Structure 1
Amino acid sequence: MTESLADAITAAGSAVNYLRNAPVKPTVFPVQPEFTNWRSEQKSWRTSVALLDQSHHMTDLFITGPDALKLLSDVGVNSFSSFAVDRAKQFIAVNHEGYLIGDAILFHLEENSFDLVGWHMVLDWVQYHGEKGEYDVSFERDASSAVRQGDPKQYRFEIQGPKALELMEKATGQPVPETKFFRMATFEIDGVTVRSLRHGMAGQPGFELFGPWADGERVRSALLAAGEGLDLVQVGSKAYSSSNLESAWVPSPFPAIFSGEGTQEYREWLPASRAGSLAGSLQSERVEDYYLTPYDLGYGRSVSFDHEFIGRAALERHAAEQRRQKVTLVWEPEDVAAALRSQFEPGVPAKYIDLPKARYGQYQVDRVLVDGKDVGISHDAGYITNEQAFVSLASLENEFASPGTTVTVLWGEEPNSTKPSVEAHRQVSIRATVEPAPYSAFARENYRKN
């Protein structure tokens, strides 16, 4: 019998204790790590064109039925007043207290037919409410290749970079019709019908292509052939996993499912295996200290109070009192180098800093301080070749969120947890400078304005 999250937390004594010591292996993207090297692959989406395979690491939740849109509207904070077929949006959900559950990309495929794609946290929340509520809907879940048996239902390829449009025109043999951001279009590539989302990743222009799995290799081969002469670069999982640092998207924020109205029943429904793991220097037995609002992550413009949804009243209160904002922290090179150098010195070293992505739990939550006072939390951290900088995404109190502000990131756990990804280490303080999010000027001036 599958253990529920509620039972696992009871056995561990608390939600924080369970998550901090979760016996789960480090997240591994089930895609080739590198085709050349991750530094060159990171550069490709800035200088030429990158081809990324997204077919394996995300979960698809297909939602169909007469009440599919009603369910999404009841759970999501977004407006659905003009959400027509062939459109997509960043779907966001909160709990009854207005704290973030998670986000994913929602595709409106056909009338009464949707595909919610991304990390499973928000997908689970939607499916739970669809099954427990009085909705005429059905669900089909296609989990990531890390846990699924057999092939995916769909292939999903990302084309990104300044030559993305040229690549698409060579692959389709015709001019690409102008498609607005987050709108879909249909193309023919090597005789195969391909659906496309006009998208951006790492702040660069591009397309997300998808279709039946059986067509995937044919489409990939056609893209590779069209990429000859365009410096097309296949990107592996190492570089891909770090791309969010340039676009300033936090992929796995801590989900507010461990307390609050209705969450006990949800935890009884949710398998413990999908709970995730908690890493970082923030140590608190009060699980609410890890929660975020959509405004902490810059999602305010996606919130719409034009309909009733779970958490609306509480979210309106958060909207009136936005205390934090999302920023980029550029870590001091000398301090990063000192932490890395500790691996070669006597004594207990600093927590290992992996490259290009340094996250060592599904939910990375590190303390950010100014003069010893906590002023926010740091999320994903890693290296951006295109900026030659080690950075993290953070949510800081407004008073300390101005570019140029000097802060300190506390890196490592004290005491050390028992997660498989954690070795014996000591905490270290790393100075950092607050910069805008996204950090890349191109991403701020082009991607975010859409």
Structure 2
Amino acid sequence: MTTTPGNDAGAAASGGASPDAPRRTALDAVHRALGATMTDFAGWEMPLRYGSERDEHLAVRSRAGLFDLSHMGEITLTGPDAGALLDYALVGNLSALKTGRARYTMICDEQGGILDDLIVYRTGEREYLVVANAANAQTVLDTLTERQAGFDAAVRDDRDAYALIAVQGPEAAGILAGLTDAGLDGLKYYAGLPGTVAGARALIARTGYTGEDGFELFVSTDDAVAVWEAVSAAGREKGLVPCGLSCRDTLRLEAGMPLYGHELTTRTTPFDAGLGRIVKFEKTTNEGRFVGRKPLEEAAERAASAPPRKLAGLIAEGRRVPRAGYPVVTADGTVIGEVTSGAPSPTLGRPVAMAYVDAAYAEPGTEGVAVDIRGSREPYEVVALPFYRRRK
């Protein structure tokens, strides 16, 4: 599906603001009418919460939540070599992706460092939709454009063409079923198909960042308010609530999903993050060549032999909350790692964290591990990720 409104729609999504002011999504007025607490996130004014972030979190776990993700960056690639370009520019084997399916992947620099993690949808025989994190969207666009040389493919910035609305939680399919002509029962995880939602054309994807079943709806910015309001009305009796970025962060943390700038940076490779499985050295095109291949081969060897640090899960024995950057230490105060993400877990009822720790301390059940929280060594249990898995 291609949804490309004109320049007026893009201006509306931006709120007509000056270049230095935070941008506003097409749903900005809706959020404010709902009493949302707004925050500046990656250059966008986004809803942080509407009320209690704990209640929003638990609603997604038990019922459903509605998210505005229109700050994410959409980039369309078209042409005979679109798949080959992605094979060269990204770490995955995207040309082998079947039409209608999606794949989690990454774009790395020449040293194998992660520039961003992405979801790529194959929307046609010669068309792909790349979805980047808001803070990195321009970098991803520029890098794909730079790596385009020599390929018969076009790279198009579609960030102003789409609004992205997510419905997440066990009731998500039931809420959407009466609003769409798409066959949701047959839509697999990490797949997307064109259809309509509340009469609006959409790419309907069974993807998400919460650890729950759910859908992400790519619609025109002109249709965003109508779709949001229709989903809200359809979900009212099923306990659907609007949700902000705050609970999205605790949901993804419980699900062990990495966040760029925390678990993923240009200083880490996919293998450092325990995600080496997404790097495909055997590719369909380009004779296996892709940016960062040699450093990533070396990273794969290190990960298989003696990795210096691993990403581990930590659950607090007490109530003090660890934050990114706090040292992970042994009983005698020796620093063995660093927290990358930490927050109270509404589902577990205790604080949790992800941290890169020395490999010798990364195994679940390792004793004597603590987090230095402002000079106090708080004991933590080392556990396997994720902290939470939904029942299927």
Q: TM-score, normalised by structure 2?
A: 0.77
Could you tell me how far 1:173 is from its partner in structure 2?
7.0
Taking the TM superposition and a 5 Å limit, the aligned residue runs for 1:5-404 are 30-55=45-70, 57-119=71-133, 120-121=135-136, 124-125=139-140, 127-128=142-143, 130-131=145-146, 133-141=149-157, 152-172=160-180, 176-253=184-261, 291-306=267-282, 307-322=288-303, 323=307, 324-336=309-321, 364-370=324-330, 371-404=332-365
Query: Which deviations, in whole Å up to 9, do the C-alpha atoms of 1:393-436 show, x marking residues without a partner?
Result: 1223332112233423345xxxxxxxxxxxxxx65544322122
* Separation in structure 2 between the aligned mates of residue 175 and residue 84 of structure 1, nearest angstrom: 18
Could you tell me how far 1:126 is from its partner in structure 2?
5.8
Are the aligned partners of 1:103 and 1:122 in contact in 2 as well (CA < 8 Å)? no
Corresponding position: 1:440 with 2:388: yes
Could you tell me how far 1:325 is from its partner in structure 2?
3.1
Are the aligned partners of 1:72 and 1:126 in contact in 2 as well (CA < 8 Å)? no
The equivalent of 2:371 in structure 1 is 409
The equivalent of 1:146 in structure 2 is none
Are the aligned partners of 1:45 and 1:161 in contact in 2 as well (CA < 8 Å)? yes
CA spacing shift, 1:181–1:399, aligned 2, 3 Å:
same
Q: Secondary structure at the match of 2:214?
A: strand
Could you tell me how far 1:189 is from its partner in structure 2?
2.6
Could you tell me how far 1:118 is from its partner in structure 2?
2.6
Q: Secondary structure at the match of 1:180?
A: coil
Are the aligned partners of 1:35 and 1:234 in contact in 2 as well (CA < 8 Å)? yes
Q: How many residues were matched structurally?
A: 340
Are the aligned partners of 2:320 and 2:378 in contact in 1 as well (CA < 8 Å)? yes
Are the aligned partners of 1:48 and 1:232 in contact in 2 as well (CA < 8 Å)? yes
Query: Which deviations, in whole Å up to 9, do the C-alpha atoms of 1:262-310 show, x marking residues without a partner?
Result: xxxxxxxxxxxxxxxxxxxxxxxxxxxxx22212222122121102212
* Separation in structure 2 between the aligned mates of residue 380 and residue 29 of structure 1, nearest angstrom: 22
Could you tell me how far 1:156 is from its partner in structure 2?
1.0
CA spacing shift, 1:142–1:393, aligned 2, 3 Å:
farther
Are the aligned partners of 2:327 and 2:371 in contact in 1 as well (CA < 8 Å)? yes
CA spacing shift, 1:43–1:256, aligned 2, 3 Å:
closer
Are the aligned partners of 1:73 and 1:79 in contact in 2 as well (CA < 8 Å)? yes
The equivalent of 1:272 in structure 2 is none
CA spacing shift, 1:315–1:435, aligned 2, 3 Å:
same
Query: Which deviations, in whole Å up to 9, do the C-alpha atoms of 1:99-122 show, x marking residues without a partner?
Result: 333211122223433322232437
Are the aligned partners of 2:316 and 2:378 in contact in 1 as well (CA < 8 Å)? yes
Deviates further, 166-175 or 196-205: 166-175
Structure 1 unmatched runs, 5+: 3-24, 144-151, 258-290, 337-352, 359-363, 412-425
Could you tell me how far 1:36 is from its partner in structure 2?
2.9
Q: Secondary structure at the match of 2:207?
A: strand
Structure 2 unmatched runs, 5+: 1-18, 20-39, 283-287
Q: Secondary structure at the match of 1:248?
A: coil
Are the aligned partners of 1:101 and 1:122 in contact in 2 as well (CA < 8 Å)? no
Are the aligned partners of 1:78 and 1:303 in contact in 2 as well (CA < 8 Å)? yes
Q: TM-score, normalised by structure 1?
A: 0.68
Q: Secondary structure at the match of 2:229?
A: helix
CA spacing shift, 1:427–1:102, aligned 2, 3 Å:
farther
Are the aligned partners of 2:327 and 2:337 in contact in 1 as well (CA < 8 Å)? yes
Could you tell me how far 1:137 is from its partner in structure 2?
3.8
CA spacing shift, 1:176–1:100, aligned 2, 3 Å:
closer
Could you tell me how far 1:174 is from its partner in structure 2?
7.8
Query: Which deviations, in whole Å up to 9, do the C-alpha atoms of 1:175-201 show, x marking residues without a partner?
Result: 633112111123333322222111243
Q: Secondary structure at the match of 1:251?
A: coil
* Separation in structure 2 between the aligned mates of residue 113 and residue 427 of structure 1, nearest angstrom: 53
Partner AA of 2:112 in structure 1? G
Could you tell me how far 1:27 is from its partner in structure 2?
5.4
CA spacing shift, 1:96–1:136, aligned 2, 3 Å:
same
* Separation in structure 2 between the aligned mates of residue 183 and residue 75 of structure 1, nearest angstrom: 22
Query: Which deviations, in whole Å up to 9, do the C-alpha atoms of 1:203-255 show, x marking residues without a partner?
Result: 21111111111111121122112113211111122222332212212211467
